[in-house]
Structure 1
Amino acid sequence: MAQVEIYTKAFCPYCARALRLLGDKGVVVDETDITMDRAKREEMIGRAKGRTTVPQIFIDGQHVGGCDDLVALERAGKLDPMLAA
């Protein structure tokens, strides 16, 4: 199974939705809460090429975007192959 990393914030409904989608697939997620961690927030922005919204999701180190991007991959049938890698 692929390594999945997600940057989140407390009380973020998009973060919860992304985590639920991945959890329903049985994916173990490495979650980093940036709510009170400026250094981790800066790390996320750098890795996400300037994107500042949460969640930001990475599969095997590849930036796939946020919640809407993750859902779009799922709807297009592309998420499962990425997770199986």
Structure 2
Amino acid sequence: AKQIIDGYNVKSNNNNYEVIELEKRPDCSQIQSYLKTLTGASTVPRIFVCGKSVGGCDDLVKLHESGQFREMLSECGVV
């Protein structure tokens, strides 16, 4: 997922883009539980665009291949 996003030249210092490495956090299980409540899935990655969940890695690949992901990022002003 990070490789696809990096291909859009979205900068990690952009206020609209953040990667959170759950496995490095002591509250990993609590965050995954919250993700399940919020999105219906606790697996990672969970990708959000403009604050809206667009799914996981497989969903991102489909959005990327269809061109929809670029449209979403453009609408948010991230690319």
Shorter-chain TM-score bucket reads: 0.7 to 0.9
1:48 aligns with 2:39: yes
Secondary structure of the corresponding residue to residue 19 of structure 2:
strand
Report what 1:31 is aligned to.
19
Number of residue-to-residue matches in the alignment: 67
Secondary structure of the corresponding residue to residue 31 of structure 1:
coil
The alignment's TM-score, normalised by the length of structure 1, stands at 0.69
Deviations 1:17-43 (CA, angstroms, capped at 9, x unpaired): x01110121123312222242222222
> How much is the aligned-residue C-alpha RMSD, in angstroms?
1.4
* Bigger Rg, structure 1 or 2: 2
Partner Cα separation in structure 2 for residue 69 and residue 78 of structure 1: 11
The alignment's TM-score, normalised by the length of structure 2, stands at 0.73
Greater helix share, 1 or 2? 2
Report what 1:81 is aligned to.
71
- Between the two structures, name the one with larger relative contact order (CA 8 Å, sep ≥ 6): 1
Report what 1:8 is aligned to.
none
Q: Which runs of 5+ in 1 are unaligned?
A: 1-17
Partner Cα separation in structure 2 for residue 39 and residue 82 of structure 1: 28
Question: Which shifted more, 29-38 or 69-78?
Answer: 29-38
Greater strand share, 1 or 2? 1
Q: Which runs of 5+ in 2 are unaligned?
A: none
Report what 2:61 is aligned to.
71
